[in-house]
Structure 1
């Protein structure tokens, strides 16, 4: 049977006369090259981009950015692997003009420019917005957990710290008792260690205890519930099937037209609760629209968040058990139109430090529960005069979780205009949610191999995932428009 044979390795071969001949006209690297060449890196906030006046010459900042964007589009995120690609990958050679920076230089560029990388992501979104790749009608918001560079063993809460201190105390007591015993037969420890060695062991255990006590004091001072020792910003949070891991909760707003990522936010919140309005508002601002619809799952069901959306031109559609009625701050006062509703919710207005009940009455800051870390808002006089009995108790109160340092009895209810609105469930929109927002997370975690962080610290993770989401949007834009058309548009704008 005949087989296909390769060429003799010793055979002389005439390669194309230029490296450009290896890169086809529709190769995606031409889009990367054209787009990054069109950027003003100084305006975007990149640092250390001016040529060195003394010392060794520096690598061009645009070349460093091209290396990263190409790498993230091709599942290559490690600086060491990127260094290897600049040596052996023909596309990378073309892109970098055969420059081969070492992995430390590559890594330092990402580390020094997290905010600038986020600006590049926004810049590209403005570009594709002009090309009509954003529908600007419906956004789907969701969050997903990404593993941090921090193990569960190196994450502590007060309970875990107390347990570690208790164990150390037991060990210290055991060694202290062994020093007081003169009979070697009664002390197994003395057979292994001398008195001097035992003192050294006790000293080491006391140092460990001091570290745990410092952690406990820091948690008390910051009012945080947990602390991570490798990546201080990472938090332990639940994942699927009852598992937990230390990582970040990354929020995204995805446009419904082509599943393009309009905006993202890296957080260390252990739940999605309270992130709908902030994420949607940032996306709305970037898309430059007056109003937009947004949808999210039940984890975002917060009356305060829904009210914040309504007050900022966002129509929220959150998975809820029923329609809800709330009172929000408005431009014109419509209190006379307020009616009794059985599905009413209380809304907290952060800027004013007050809460508004479903009947439009203001609940004022009353007390703070240190144990539960909750602020309580109520208005007994208003409840006594109210015809609506919306709770089993005599007075309605509202509890808001917050840190004690953020708690204050000061408030502002001046010139407050209120209106009542009913947020209805729209199943036609809610059914679209999964198909819009869950697809990008799956692609990023599997096809882009970006289900975990390589960098430490919230700011650095923002820079890292700016590259990830830029690569995702860039790849989708190429698939939709084609490389040639995208290059033509970039060079003409």
Structure 2
């Protein structure tokens, strides 16, 4: 009796099908790729179509390329070469591309060039569509930021402090050579007046170098060291100062940039694998969310979140015609400038200031009983009462401007007889009488913030912020592995992050 054979299903690899299945049949009905197809089909792509030439060879359809890009970012495929391979290997990409096989150059050119002026409009249309479907609110948003590493060499840096230090060395060297030239030509009447080297530029440096060569070039017995210094200055200083001025123009208000991506600023990132606090070229990404959908995004060179809110809100207004009705954010945004901005735009600001959480802590209040906010103020006669019951009289105002040019005014109040006070040393640490600075406008804004944040609505907003905007960054970085941009330059980085934001929204829509 023979051995029984296992029962297998038919397997005939070379057999032809009479009616081969369609791509639509091969894609499950509830698959996320169908959401991408459906949403992109609903939006207007006329502005994207207009980015193509009317003449020349036929191009791949931009609607198809957009679907492939968006689904690629949803699937953690960010490389144009890997997207090219996916269009030939994955049934889902074949479904979107309708069996078209664009190469990586076409995909990369579409992402970096064709989408340059049109992607923001595409993103806004999708957000508006999701708002109409009830998935998100454009009027009530939660704002936060994160730093993402740029595609730049972390060792090709330019620092503002280094430029300033080198310019000081140049001024000192020029002044030293000029002093020597004056001593050598002391008996001559044609020695020009010494230049003003308080500030230097390429014209002033060039004129100074030319004059020094003219004066010392005629002399025979010149000190060898000075001759060597003059030769070095003549050869290098005019070119160096011209380079420094170009670098300062690129820097603007920043303290650093990378030579391989001049739009990227060196920042301290949370992803510090070497654990040495090394600064890396990066971008500060700001987003506003609603129900974990990204409503608005913006890219900044700032190392902190404080000075990003103005342009971020400006983008929201540009996208949707008006500022949001309410905005919730953490203490990184709680500055006088931001509170004033939100007041002017009539945005209800559920925004903490830097000591809000600590002031809610009784232990902190007990530890700092002599803090300025604990002192009694008499508004009628405009004076404060120090912890010993003495009047602190108003002594004047002090004005200052922030790095963004925002003007601040503080009122100064001074105590008296602090040296003989038994609380001296505990009340304050200064040598003389205690002087407090009161920013009246900021204190008013903080009181208003306290009322909003401690209200029932404010407590709900604060709780929701922790699971609305923050998990979005965590999902993108940890679950989808996007920790470093692939493109260079702010304009292309904005497109890349926009694709990430659109992918996040469509993933959330399909969930």
Asked whether the two chains share a fold, i.e. TM above 0.5, the reply is yes
Q: Unpaired segments of 5 or more residues in structure 1?
A: 167-205, 324-341, 345-358, 360-384, 409-417, 480-493
Counting only pairs closer than 5 Å after superposition, residues 362-401 of structure 1 correspond to structure 2 as: 387=382, 394-401=395-402
Q: Work out whether 1:27 is the aligned partner of 2:62.
A: no
* Residue 230 (structure 1) shift: 0.9
* Residue 4 (structure 1) shift: 11
Structure 2 partner of 1:89: 90
- In 2, Cα distance between equivalents of 1:161 and 1:307: 35
Q: Is the 8 A contact 2:157 2:258 kept in 1?
A: yes
SS of alignment partner, residue 149 of structure 1: coil
Structure 1 counterpart of 2:280, from 245, 268, 271: 245
Q: Is the 8 A contact 1:138 1:292 kept in 2?
A: yes
- CA 244–85 in structure 1, closer or farther in 2 if over 3 Å, else same: same
Counting only pairs closer than 5 Å after superposition, residues 195-344 of structure 1 correspond to structure 2 as: 214-221=242-249, 223-224=252-253, 225-240=255-270, 242-255=277-290, 258-280=291-313, 282-283=315-316, 292-320=325-353, 321-322=355-356
- In 2, Cα distance between equivalents of 1:280 and 1:4: 67
- In 2, Cα distance between equivalents of 1:461 and 1:139: 23
Q: Is the 8 A contact 1:253 1:437 kept in 2?
A: yes
SS of alignment partner, residue 87 of structure 2: helix
- CA 29–313 in structure 1, closer or farther in 2 if over 3 Å, else same: same
Structure 2 partner of 1:105: 106
- In 1, Cα distance between equivalents of 2:7 and 2:335: 65
SS of alignment partner, residue 501 of structure 2: helix
- In 2, Cα distance between equivalents of 1:48 and 1:143: 32
Structure 1 partner of 2:15: 12
- CA 386–162 in structure 1, closer or farther in 2 if over 3 Å, else same: same
* Residue 228 (structure 1) shift: 1.8
Q: Is the 8 A contact 2:139 2:323 kept in 1?
A: no
- In 2, Cα distance between equivalents of 1:444 and 1:163: 40
- CA 407–398 in structure 1, closer or farther in 2 if over 3 Å, else same: closer
- CA 463–159 in structure 1, closer or farther in 2 if over 3 Å, else same: same
Q: Is the 8 A contact 2:310 2:341 kept in 1?
A: yes
Q: Work out whether 1:150 is the aligned partner of 2:152.
A: yes
TM-score, normalization by structure 2: 0.63
TM-score, normalization by structure 1: 0.65
Structure 2 counterpart of 1:443, from 475, 481, 489: 475
Structure 2 partner of 1:118: 120
Partner deviation per Cα, 1:370-408 (whole Å, 9 max, x = no partner): xxxxxxxxxxxxxxx9935799983322322347xx799
Q: Unpaired segments of 5 or more residues in structure 2?
A: 169-233, 358-371, 386-391, 408-440
- CA 143–207 in structure 1, closer or farther in 2 if over 3 Å, else same: farther
Structure 2 partner of 1:423: 448
- In 2, Cα distance between equivalents of 1:464 and 1:394: 54
SS of alignment partner, residue 75 of structure 1: coil
- In 2, Cα distance between equivalents of 1:136 and 1:48: 29
* Residue 119 (structure 1) shift: 1.5
Q: Is the 8 A contact 1:249 1:269 kept in 2?
A: yes
- In 1, Cα distance between equivalents of 2:485 and 2:6: 45
- CA 343–458 in structure 1, closer or farther in 2 if over 3 Å, else same: farther
Q: Is the 8 A contact 1:158 1:216 kept in 2?
A: no
Q: Is the 8 A contact 1:115 1:463 kept in 2?
A: no
Q: Is the 8 A contact 1:237 1:244 kept in 2?
A: yes
Q: Work out whether 1:462 is the aligned partner of 2:480.
A: no
- CA 303–209 in structure 1, closer or farther in 2 if over 3 Å, else same: same
* Residue 292 (structure 1) shift: 2.5
- In 1, Cα distance between equivalents of 2:468 and 2:126: 20
Partner deviation per Cα, 1:100-158 (whole Å, 9 max, x = no partner): 11111110011112331121111100001001111456422111011101122012204
Structure 2 partner of 1:174: none
Q: CA RMSD in A?
A: 4.1
- In 2, Cα distance between equivalents of 1:17 and 1:64: 24
Q: Is the 8 A contact 1:444 1:450 kept in 2?
A: yes
- CA 264–221 in structure 1, closer or farther in 2 if over 3 Å, else same: closer
Structure 2 partner of 1:38: 42
Larger radius of gyration: 2
Structure 2 partner of 1:132: 134
- In 2, Cα distance between equivalents of 1:211 and 1:407: 36
SS of alignment partner, residue 99 of structure 2: coil
- CA 305–386 in structure 1, closer or farther in 2 if over 3 Å, else same: farther
Q: Is the 8 A contact 1:141 1:251 kept in 2?
A: yes
Partner deviation per Cα, 1:206-251 (whole Å, 9 max, x = no partner): 9999886554222444544223211110000122364422110000
Partner deviation per Cα, 1:332-366 (whole Å, 9 max, x = no partner): xxxxxxxxxx769xxxxxxxxxxxxxx9xxxxxxx
* Residue 11 (structure 1) shift: 5.3
Counting only pairs closer than 5 Å after superposition, residues 151-190 of structure 1 correspond to structure 2 as: 151-160=153-162
Partner deviation per Cα, 1:430-463 (whole Å, 9 max, x = no partner): 3432222110001111222222111111111111
- CA 437–6 in structure 1, closer or farther in 2 if over 3 Å, else same: farther
